[in-house]
Protein backbone atom coordinates (compact mmCIF):
# COMPACT_ATOMS: atom_id res chain seq x y z
CA UNK A 1 0.00 0.00 0.00
CA UNK A 2 1.36 3.43 -0.87
CA UNK A 3 -0.54 6.54 0.12
CA UNK A 4 0.02 10.14 -0.90
CA UNK A 5 -1.70 13.42 -0.16
CA UNK A 6 -2.20 16.16 -2.78
CA UNK A 7 -0.95 19.69 -2.26
CA UNK A 8 -3.41 21.79 -4.28
CA UNK A 9 -6.57 19.74 -4.12
CA UNK A 10 -7.01 17.86 -0.93
CA UNK A 11 -6.94 14.41 -2.49
CA UNK A 12 -5.57 11.13 -1.22
CA UNK A 13 -4.73 8.36 -3.71
CA UNK A 14 -4.07 4.86 -2.45
CA UNK A 15 -2.69 2.11 -4.67
CA UNK A 16 -2.88 -1.47 -3.49
CA UNK A 17 0.25 -2.91 -5.04
CA UNK A 18 -0.69 -6.46 -4.15
CA UNK A 19 -3.78 -6.21 -6.38
CA UNK A 20 -2.40 -3.92 -9.13
CA UNK A 21 -1.68 -5.97 -12.26
CA UNK A 22 0.08 -3.17 -14.10
CA UNK A 23 -2.46 -2.91 -16.93
CA UNK A 24 -1.62 0.82 -17.34
CA UNK A 25 -5.31 1.75 -17.81
CA UNK A 26 -5.28 4.28 -14.95
CA UNK A 27 -1.97 5.77 -16.09
CA UNK A 28 -2.85 6.27 -19.74
CA UNK A 29 -6.45 7.38 -19.24
CA UNK A 30 -5.75 9.92 -16.47
CA UNK A 31 -6.48 13.32 -18.03
CA UNK A 32 -3.98 15.09 -15.75
CA UNK A 33 -0.96 12.75 -16.05
CA UNK A 34 -0.89 12.18 -12.32
CA UNK A 35 0.13 8.53 -12.45
CA UNK A 36 3.04 6.58 -13.88
CA UNK A 37 4.34 3.04 -14.01
CA UNK A 38 7.26 1.99 -11.87
CA UNK A 39 8.47 -1.64 -11.71
CA UNK A 40 5.24 -2.86 -13.29
CA UNK A 41 2.93 -1.13 -10.82
CA UNK A 42 0.98 2.12 -10.94
CA UNK A 43 2.49 4.91 -8.83
CA UNK A 44 1.41 8.43 -7.96
CA UNK A 45 3.91 10.78 -9.60
CA UNK A 46 2.27 14.25 -9.69
CA UNK A 47 -0.41 14.33 -7.06
CA UNK A 48 -0.60 18.13 -7.20
CA UNK A 49 -2.12 17.84 -10.72
CA UNK A 50 -4.98 15.58 -9.64
CA UNK A 51 -8.44 17.02 -10.27
CA UNK A 52 -10.24 14.23 -8.37
CA UNK A 53 -12.16 13.26 -11.52
CA UNK A 54 -12.25 9.64 -10.27
CA UNK A 55 -11.73 8.17 -13.75
CA UNK A 56 -8.81 6.03 -12.64
CA UNK A 57 -10.81 4.53 -9.79
CA UNK A 58 -13.81 3.96 -12.08
CA UNK A 59 -11.77 2.09 -14.67
CA UNK A 60 -9.25 0.12 -12.62
CA UNK A 61 -10.42 -3.48 -13.20
CA UNK A 62 -8.65 -4.74 -10.10
CA UNK A 63 -10.00 -2.47 -7.34
CA UNK A 64 -6.38 -1.40 -6.84
CA UNK A 65 -6.66 2.40 -6.91
CA UNK A 66 -8.76 4.48 -4.54
CA UNK A 67 -9.12 8.24 -4.79
CA UNK A 68 -10.49 10.18 -1.84
CA UNK A 69 -11.49 13.79 -2.34
CA UNK A 70 -11.05 14.93 1.25
CA UNK A 71 -13.18 18.02 0.70
CA UNK A 72 -16.17 15.74 0.01
CA UNK A 73 -15.28 13.02 2.42
CA UNK A 74 -18.38 13.45 4.58
CA UNK A 75 -20.90 13.08 1.74
CA UNK A 76 -19.01 10.34 -0.11
CA UNK A 77 -18.25 8.10 2.80
CA UNK A 78 -20.14 5.25 1.15
CA UNK B 1 -14.23 6.87 -3.53
CA UNK B 2 -16.92 4.23 -3.49
CA UNK B 3 -16.80 1.60 -0.78
CA UNK B 4 -16.84 -1.62 -2.84
CA UNK B 5 -15.57 -3.69 0.09
CA UNK B 6 -19.02 -3.93 1.67
CA UNK B 7 -20.13 -6.12 -1.29
CA UNK B 8 -16.99 -8.18 -1.79
CA UNK B 9 -15.52 -11.43 -0.52
CA UNK B 10 -12.14 -9.86 0.04
CA UNK B 11 -10.55 -13.17 1.03
CA UNK B 12 -10.95 -14.26 -2.62
CA UNK B 13 -8.85 -11.35 -3.94
CA UNK B 14 -6.86 -10.58 -6.08
CA UNK B 15 -9.21 -11.27 -9.00
CA UNK B 16 -8.35 -14.22 -11.24
CA UNK B 17 -8.84 -12.17 -14.43
CA UNK B 18 -5.88 -11.20 -16.64
CA UNK B 19 -4.23 -7.81 -16.44
CA UNK B 20 -6.43 -5.36 -18.35
CA UNK B 21 -9.44 -7.68 -18.65
CA UNK B 22 -12.59 -5.55 -18.81
CA UNK B 23 -14.61 -7.82 -16.52
CA UNK B 24 -13.47 -6.07 -13.33
CA UNK B 25 -14.78 -2.75 -14.66
CA UNK B 26 -18.19 -4.35 -15.21
CA UNK B 27 -18.15 -5.85 -11.71
CA UNK B 28 -17.52 -2.42 -10.20
CA UNK B 29 -20.33 -0.87 -12.24
CA UNK B 30 -22.71 -3.61 -11.07
CA UNK B 31 -21.87 -2.98 -7.41
CA UNK B 32 -22.41 0.77 -7.73
CA UNK B 33 -25.77 0.17 -9.43
CA UNK B 34 -26.91 -2.25 -6.71
CA UNK B 35 -25.83 0.22 -4.04
CA UNK B 36 -27.78 3.06 -5.67
CA UNK B 37 -30.89 0.88 -5.65
CA UNK B 38 -30.39 0.29 -1.94
CA UNK B 39 -30.91 -3.45 -2.31
CA UNK B 40 -30.24 -5.48 0.82
CA UNK B 41 -27.48 -8.04 0.21
CA UNK B 42 -29.74 -10.89 1.32
CA UNK B 43 -32.34 -9.95 -1.31
CA UNK B 44 -29.86 -10.22 -4.15
CA UNK B 45 -29.14 -13.53 -5.87
CA UNK B 46 -26.41 -13.67 -8.50
CA UNK B 47 -26.20 -16.66 -10.79
CA UNK B 48 -23.49 -17.47 -13.31
CA UNK B 49 -22.55 -20.22 -15.73
CA UNK B 50 -19.01 -21.14 -16.73
CA UNK B 51 -16.39 -18.87 -18.26
CA UNK B 52 -14.03 -16.10 -17.16
CA UNK B 53 -16.94 -13.69 -16.70
CA UNK B 54 -18.91 -16.30 -14.78
CA UNK B 55 -16.19 -16.37 -12.12
CA UNK B 56 -17.64 -13.06 -10.91
CA UNK B 57 -20.12 -14.70 -8.55
CA UNK B 58 -17.22 -15.96 -6.42
CA UNK B 59 -16.22 -12.41 -5.51
CA UNK B 60 -19.51 -10.91 -4.39
CA UNK B 61 -21.10 -11.16 -0.96
CA UNK B 62 -24.67 -11.88 -2.09
CA UNK B 63 -26.57 -15.14 -2.43
CA UNK B 64 -24.56 -16.64 -5.28
CA UNK B 65 -24.76 -19.67 -7.51
CA UNK B 66 -21.97 -20.73 -9.89
CA UNK B 67 -23.69 -23.28 -12.10
CA UNK B 68 -22.79 -25.32 -15.20
CA UNK B 69 -21.90 -24.04 -18.66
CA UNK B 70 -24.87 -22.48 -20.42
CA UNK B 71 -27.37 -23.19 -17.65
CA UNK B 72 -27.28 -20.05 -15.51
CA UNK B 73 -30.65 -18.94 -16.83
CA UNK B 74 -32.32 -22.24 -16.02
CA UNK B 75 -31.18 -22.08 -12.39
CA UNK B 76 -32.15 -18.41 -12.27
CA UNK B 77 -35.61 -19.20 -13.64
CA UNK B 78 -36.12 -21.78 -10.90
CA UNK B 79 -35.02 -19.32 -8.23
CA UNK B 80 -37.33 -16.58 -9.47
CA UNK B 81 -40.32 -18.94 -9.73
CA UNK B 82 -39.72 -20.30 -6.21
CA UNK B 83 -38.85 -17.00 -4.53
CA UNK B 84 -40.07 -13.99 -6.50
CA UNK B 85 -38.95 -11.58 -3.75
CA UNK B 86 -35.30 -12.06 -4.73
CA UNK B 87 -33.60 -9.80 -7.24
CA UNK B 88 -32.11 -12.34 -9.61
CA UNK B 89 -29.11 -11.25 -11.68
CA UNK B 90 -27.40 -13.55 -14.17
CA UNK B 91 -23.75 -13.02 -15.07
CA UNK B 92 -22.80 -14.74 -18.30
CA UNK B 93 -20.46 -14.67 -21.30
CA UNK B 94 -21.30 -14.58 -25.00
CA UNK B 95 -20.47 -18.28 -25.27
CA UNK B 96 -22.28 -19.25 -22.08
CA UNK B 97 -25.45 -17.34 -22.99
CA UNK B 98 -25.69 -17.66 -26.75
CA UNK B 99 -23.77 -20.82 -27.77
CA UNK B 100 -24.41 -23.68 -25.33
CA UNK B 101 -27.06 -21.63 -23.50
CA UNK B 102 -28.72 -20.06 -26.56
CA UNK B 103 -31.94 -21.99 -26.18
CA UNK B 104 -32.41 -20.93 -22.56
CA UNK B 105 -31.55 -17.37 -23.49
CA UNK B 106 -34.33 -16.97 -26.06
CA UNK B 107 -36.88 -18.74 -23.91
CA UNK B 108 -36.14 -16.67 -20.81
CA UNK B 109 -36.64 -13.57 -22.96
CA UNK B 110 -39.82 -15.03 -24.48
CA UNK B 111 -41.27 -15.71 -21.02
CA UNK B 112 -40.21 -12.22 -20.01
CA UNK B 113 -39.29 -13.53 -16.58
CA UNK B 114 -38.10 -10.88 -14.13
CA UNK B 115 -34.37 -11.65 -14.35
CA UNK B 116 -31.54 -9.24 -15.16
CA UNK B 117 -28.85 -10.59 -17.45
CA UNK B 118 -25.46 -8.91 -17.56
CA UNK B 119 -23.90 -10.39 -20.67
CA UNK B 120 -20.14 -9.90 -20.95
CA UNK B 121 -19.52 -9.89 -24.69
CA UNK B 122 -15.80 -10.29 -25.43
CA UNK B 123 -16.38 -11.95 -28.84
CA UNK B 124 -14.59 -15.15 -27.80
CA UNK B 125 -14.41 -18.11 -25.42
CA UNK B 126 -11.92 -16.51 -23.05
CA UNK B 127 -11.57 -19.21 -20.43
CA UNK B 128 -10.76 -22.07 -22.77
CA UNK B 129 -8.17 -20.18 -24.79
CA UNK B 130 -9.96 -18.30 -27.53
CA UNK B 131 -12.31 -20.49 -29.55
CA UNK B 132 -14.74 -18.78 -31.91
CA UNK B 133 -18.06 -17.78 -30.30
CA UNK B 134 -21.45 -16.87 -31.83
CA UNK B 135 -20.48 -13.19 -31.51
CA UNK B 136 -16.98 -13.35 -33.02
CA UNK B 137 -17.13 -10.80 -35.82
CA UNK B 138 -16.62 -12.00 -39.39
CA UNK B 139 -12.95 -12.06 -40.36
CA UNK B 140 -11.65 -12.04 -36.77
CA UNK B 141 -9.25 -14.73 -35.64
CA UNK B 142 -9.80 -17.34 -32.97
CA UNK B 143 -7.95 -20.54 -32.08
CA UNK B 144 -10.62 -22.40 -34.08
CA UNK B 145 -10.63 -19.77 -36.85
CA UNK B 146 -6.92 -19.36 -37.60
CA UNK B 147 -7.61 -17.80 -41.02
CA UNK B 148 -10.41 -15.59 -39.75
CA UNK B 149 -14.02 -16.37 -38.89
CA UNK B 150 -16.16 -17.04 -41.98
CA UNK B 151 -19.49 -17.31 -40.12
CA UNK B 152 -22.07 -14.59 -39.53
CA UNK B 153 -22.24 -13.33 -35.94
CA UNK B 154 -25.24 -13.02 -33.64
CA UNK B 155 -26.55 -9.62 -32.62
CA UNK B 156 -27.30 -10.75 -29.07
CA UNK B 157 -29.18 -7.62 -28.04
CA UNK B 158 -31.33 -7.95 -31.16
CA UNK B 159 -31.98 -11.57 -30.28
CA UNK B 160 -33.30 -10.67 -26.81
CA UNK B 161 -35.39 -7.89 -28.31
CA UNK B 162 -36.94 -10.18 -30.94
CA UNK B 163 -37.64 -12.87 -28.34
CA UNK B 164 -39.61 -10.44 -26.15
CA UNK B 165 -37.38 -8.84 -23.50
CA UNK B 166 -38.73 -5.82 -21.60
CA UNK B 167 -35.42 -4.00 -21.42
CA UNK B 168 -32.32 -4.18 -23.59
CA UNK B 169 -29.28 -1.90 -23.44
CA UNK B 170 -25.75 -2.05 -24.79
CA UNK B 171 -22.76 -0.37 -23.20
CA UNK B 172 -18.97 -0.45 -23.10
CA UNK B 173 -16.50 -0.52 -20.23
CA UNK B 174 -15.07 2.74 -21.61
CA UNK B 175 -18.26 4.46 -20.48
CA UNK B 176 -18.56 2.87 -17.04
CA UNK B 177 -20.92 5.57 -15.75
CA UNK B 178 -23.44 4.88 -18.52
CA UNK B 179 -22.99 1.15 -17.93
CA UNK B 180 -23.84 1.60 -14.24
CA UNK B 181 -26.98 3.55 -15.15
CA UNK B 182 -28.21 0.83 -17.53
CA UNK B 183 -27.56 -1.92 -14.99
CA UNK B 184 -29.50 0.05 -12.39
CA UNK B 185 -32.47 0.46 -14.72
CA UNK B 186 -32.27 -3.20 -15.80
CA UNK B 187 -32.48 -4.44 -12.20
CA UNK B 188 -35.33 -2.04 -11.47
CA UNK B 189 -37.26 -3.12 -14.54
CA UNK B 190 -39.90 -5.81 -14.11
CA UNK B 191 -39.38 -8.45 -16.80
CA UNK B 192 -36.43 -9.88 -18.70
CA UNK B 193 -33.70 -7.25 -18.85
CA UNK B 194 -30.46 -7.52 -20.75
CA UNK B 195 -27.39 -5.34 -20.51
CA UNK B 196 -24.90 -6.38 -23.16
CA UNK B 197 -21.49 -5.08 -22.12
CA UNK B 198 -18.57 -5.05 -24.48
CA UNK B 199 -15.73 -6.16 -22.23
CA UNK B 200 -12.25 -6.39 -23.77
CA UNK B 201 -10.39 -9.70 -23.56
CA UNK B 202 -6.81 -8.70 -24.31
CA UNK B 203 -5.46 -12.23 -23.80
CA UNK B 204 -7.57 -14.59 -25.92
CA UNK B 205 -9.04 -12.09 -28.41
CA UNK B 206 -7.01 -8.89 -28.51
CA UNK B 207 -3.58 -10.45 -28.90
CA UNK B 208 -4.70 -12.81 -31.64
CA UNK B 209 -6.39 -9.98 -33.55
CA UNK B 210 -3.57 -7.46 -33.02
CA UNK B 211 -5.86 -5.07 -31.17
CA UNK B 212 -3.02 -3.80 -29.00
CA UNK B 213 -2.93 -3.14 -25.28
CA UNK B 214 -5.96 -3.10 -22.96
CA UNK B 215 -5.87 0.71 -23.25
CA UNK B 216 -5.95 0.46 -27.07
CA UNK B 217 -8.94 -1.87 -26.84
CA UNK B 218 -10.81 0.49 -24.50
CA UNK B 219 -10.06 3.52 -26.68
CA UNK B 220 -11.22 1.55 -29.73
CA UNK B 221 -14.61 1.23 -27.98
CA UNK B 222 -14.73 4.96 -27.46
CA UNK B 223 -13.90 5.74 -31.08
CA UNK B 224 -16.38 3.24 -32.52
CA UNK B 225 -19.40 3.77 -30.27
CA UNK B 226 -22.47 5.31 -31.86
CA UNK B 227 -25.46 6.29 -29.71
CA UNK B 228 -28.62 4.51 -30.80
CA UNK B 229 -30.36 7.81 -31.61
CA UNK B 230 -27.64 8.63 -34.14
CA UNK B 231 -27.45 5.10 -35.52
CA UNK B 232 -31.11 5.26 -36.56
CA UNK B 233 -30.27 7.63 -39.39
CA UNK B 234 -27.21 5.69 -40.58
CA UNK B 235 -26.98 3.01 -43.28
CA UNK B 236 -25.89 -0.59 -42.54
CA UNK B 237 -22.67 0.15 -44.46
CA UNK B 238 -21.93 3.15 -42.25
CA UNK B 239 -22.63 1.08 -39.15
CA UNK B 240 -20.23 -1.72 -40.17
CA UNK B 241 -17.86 -2.40 -37.26
CA UNK B 242 -19.56 0.19 -35.05
CA UNK B 243 -20.89 -0.40 -31.54
CA UNK B 244 -24.44 0.88 -31.16
CA UNK B 245 -24.76 1.91 -27.52
CA UNK B 246 -27.77 2.98 -25.52
CA UNK B 247 -31.19 1.72 -24.51
CA UNK B 248 -32.57 -0.40 -27.35
CA UNK B 249 -35.79 -1.53 -25.64
CA UNK B 250 -37.67 -0.25 -22.59
CA UNK B 251 -41.23 -1.45 -22.71
CA UNK B 252 -44.00 -3.03 -20.64
CA UNK B 253 -44.98 -6.67 -21.26
CA UNK B 254 -46.67 -9.27 -19.05
CA UNK B 255 -44.07 -10.80 -16.76
CA UNK B 256 -43.82 -14.58 -16.26
CA UNK B 257 -43.82 -14.89 -12.44
CA UNK B 258 -46.63 -12.32 -12.09
CA UNK B 259 -48.78 -14.20 -14.60
CA UNK B 260 -48.08 -17.44 -12.76
CA UNK B 261 -49.15 -15.84 -9.46
CA UNK B 262 -52.30 -14.54 -11.10
CA UNK B 263 -53.14 -18.07 -12.18
CA UNK B 264 -52.49 -19.47 -8.67
CA UNK B 265 -54.68 -16.81 -7.08
CA UNK B 266 -57.44 -17.39 -9.62
CA UNK B 267 -57.45 -21.16 -9.03
CA UNK B 268 -57.54 -20.62 -5.25
CA UNK B 269 -60.56 -18.36 -5.58
CA UNK B 270 -62.42 -20.96 -7.60
CA UNK B 271 -62.15 -23.53 -4.81
C1 LIG C 1 -20.70 -28.60 -20.87
C2 LIG C 1 -19.40 -27.86 -21.06
N3 LIG C 1 -18.92 -27.68 -22.29
C4 LIG C 1 -17.78 -27.00 -22.49
C5 LIG C 1 -17.09 -26.49 -21.43
C6 LIG C 1 -15.79 -25.74 -21.65
N7 LIG C 1 -15.95 -24.32 -21.51
C8 LIG C 1 -15.66 -23.67 -20.35
S9 LIG C 1 -15.87 -22.02 -20.45
C10 LIG C 1 -16.31 -22.12 -22.08
C11 LIG C 1 -16.64 -20.91 -22.90
C12 LIG C 1 -16.50 -19.63 -22.20
O13 LIG C 1 -16.79 -18.55 -23.05
P14 LIG C 1 -17.78 -17.40 -22.62
O15 LIG C 1 -19.04 -17.95 -22.11
O16 LIG C 1 -17.89 -16.46 -23.77
O17 LIG C 1 -17.06 -16.71 -21.38
P18 LIG C 1 -15.65 -15.97 -21.23
O19 LIG C 1 -14.69 -16.99 -20.71
O20 LIG C 1 -15.24 -15.42 -22.57
O21 LIG C 1 -15.93 -14.89 -20.23
C22 LIG C 1 -16.30 -23.46 -22.53
C23 LIG C 1 -16.62 -23.87 -23.91
C24 LIG C 1 -17.64 -26.67 -20.13
N25 LIG C 1 -17.05 -26.15 -19.04
N26 LIG C 1 -18.78 -27.36 -19.99
S1 LIG D 1 -8.69 11.17 -10.06
FE2 LIG D 1 -8.56 11.79 -12.21
S3 LIG D 1 -6.90 13.29 -12.24
FE4 LIG D 1 -6.72 12.19 -10.29
S5 LIG D 1 -5.28 10.54 -10.73
FE6 LIG D 1 -7.34 9.71 -11.07
S7 LIG D 1 -7.73 9.99 -13.26
FE8 LIG D 1 -5.98 11.30 -12.71
S1 LIG E 1 -5.71 0.39 -13.54
FE2 LIG E 1 -5.49 -0.67 -11.58
S3 LIG E 1 -4.49 -2.61 -12.04
FE4 LIG E 1 -4.24 -1.28 -13.83
S5 LIG E 1 -2.24 -0.28 -13.49
FE6 LIG E 1 -3.80 1.08 -12.63
S7 LIG E 1 -3.95 0.50 -10.47
FE8 LIG E 1 -2.86 -1.15 -11.52
S1 LIG F 1 -8.80 -14.74 -20.95
FE2 LIG F 1 -9.77 -12.84 -21.60
S3 LIG F 1 -11.80 -12.84 -20.63
FE4 LIG F 1 -10.54 -14.37 -19.58
S5 LIG F 1 -9.65 -13.25 -17.82
FE6 LIG F 1 -8.17 -13.16 -19.50
S7 LIG F 1 -8.62 -11.24 -20.55
FE8 LIG F 1 -10.42 -11.72 -19.28
Could you read off the pLDDT of A1-37 as tens digits, one per residue?
A: 666 655 568 999 999 999 999 999 999 999 999 999 9
Average pLDDT over residues A59-67: 98
Residues of chain B with C-beta less than 8 angstroms from the C-beta of A57: 1-2
B196, containing H or E segment: strand B193-198
pLDDT of residue B50: 98
The mean pLDDT of chain B is 98
Which residue in chain B is spatially nearest to A67 when comparing CA positions?
A: B1
| B11 touches A: beta carbon within 8 Å | no
Is pLDDT above 50 for A77? no
Ligand 1 site residues (CB inside 6 A) read B 50-53, 69, 93-96, 120, 122, 124-128, 133
Average pLDDT over residues B101-107: 98
- Do B214 and A18 count as a contact with CB atoms less than 8 A apart? no
- Establish whether the linkage from the previous residue to B188 is cis, with ω within 30° of 0: no
Confidence bin at B158 (pLDDT 50/70/90): very high
Give every CB contact of residue B176 below 8 A, 6+ residues apart in sequence. Answer: A58, A59, B25, B28, B29
pLDDT of residue A6: 53
**Are A26 and A65 a contacting pair, CB within 8 Å?**
yes
Q: How many CB pairs under 8 A join A and B?
A: 67
Average pLDDT over residues B53-78: 98
Mutate-to-test residue for ligand 1 from B50, B58, B90, highest number of ligand atoms within 8 A of CB: B50
pLDDT of residue B271: 81
**Are A68 and B22 a contacting pair, CB within 8 Å?**
no
The whole-model pTM stands at 0.96
| B20 touches A: beta carbon within 8 Å | yes
- Domains in chain B, please, with CATH? 4-270 (3.40.50.970)
pLDDT of residue A73: 74
Helix locations, chain A, DSSP H? 25-29, 55-59
CATH architecture, range A2-70: 2-Layer Sandwich (3.30)
User: Ligand 3: distance of its center to the CA of A65 in Å?
Assistant: 7
Average pLDDT over residues B194-215: 98
Give nearest CA residue, ligand 3 atom 3: A20
Q: Which ligand has its closest atom nearest to the C-alpha of A40?
A: 3
Give nearest CA residue, ligand 4 atom 2: B201
Which residue in chain B is spatially nearest to A74 when comparing CA positions?
A: B1
- Do B18 and A21 count as a contact with CB atoms less than 8 A apart? yes
Q: How far apart are the first and last CA of chain A?
A: 21
Number of Cβ within a 10 Å radius of residue B41: 12
pLDDT of residue A61: 98
Given A23, A29, A66, which is nearest B1 (Cβ)?
A: A66
Could you read off the pLDDT of B129-147 as tens digits, one per residue?
A: 999 999 999 999 999 999 9
Give nearest CA residue, ligand 3 atom 8: A20
Could you read off the pLDDT of B214-259 as tens digits, one per residue?
A: 999 999 999 999 999 999 999 999 999 999 999 999 999 999 999 9
Is pLDDT above 60 for A78? no
Given A19, A28, A54, which is nearest B215 (Cβ)?
A: A28
Domain spans in chain A, listed from the N-terminal domain onward = 2-70
Report CA B221 to chain centroid distance, whole Å. Answer: 17
Give nearest CA residue, ligand 4 atom 5: B17
pLDDT of residue A2: 62
Residues of chain A with C-beta less than 8 angstroms from the C-beta of B18: 21
B218, containing H or E segment: helix B214-224
Amino acid sequence: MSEQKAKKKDVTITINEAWCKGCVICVELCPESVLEMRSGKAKVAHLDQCSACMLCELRCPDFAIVVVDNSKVDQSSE
Amino acid sequence: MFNYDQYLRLNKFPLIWCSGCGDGIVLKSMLRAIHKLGINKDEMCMVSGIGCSSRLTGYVDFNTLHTTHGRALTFATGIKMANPKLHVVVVTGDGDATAIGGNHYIHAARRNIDITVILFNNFIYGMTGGQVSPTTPKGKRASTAPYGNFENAFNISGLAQAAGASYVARATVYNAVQLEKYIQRAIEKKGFSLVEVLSPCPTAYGRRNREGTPVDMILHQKENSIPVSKAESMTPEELEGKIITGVLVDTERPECRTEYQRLIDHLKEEK
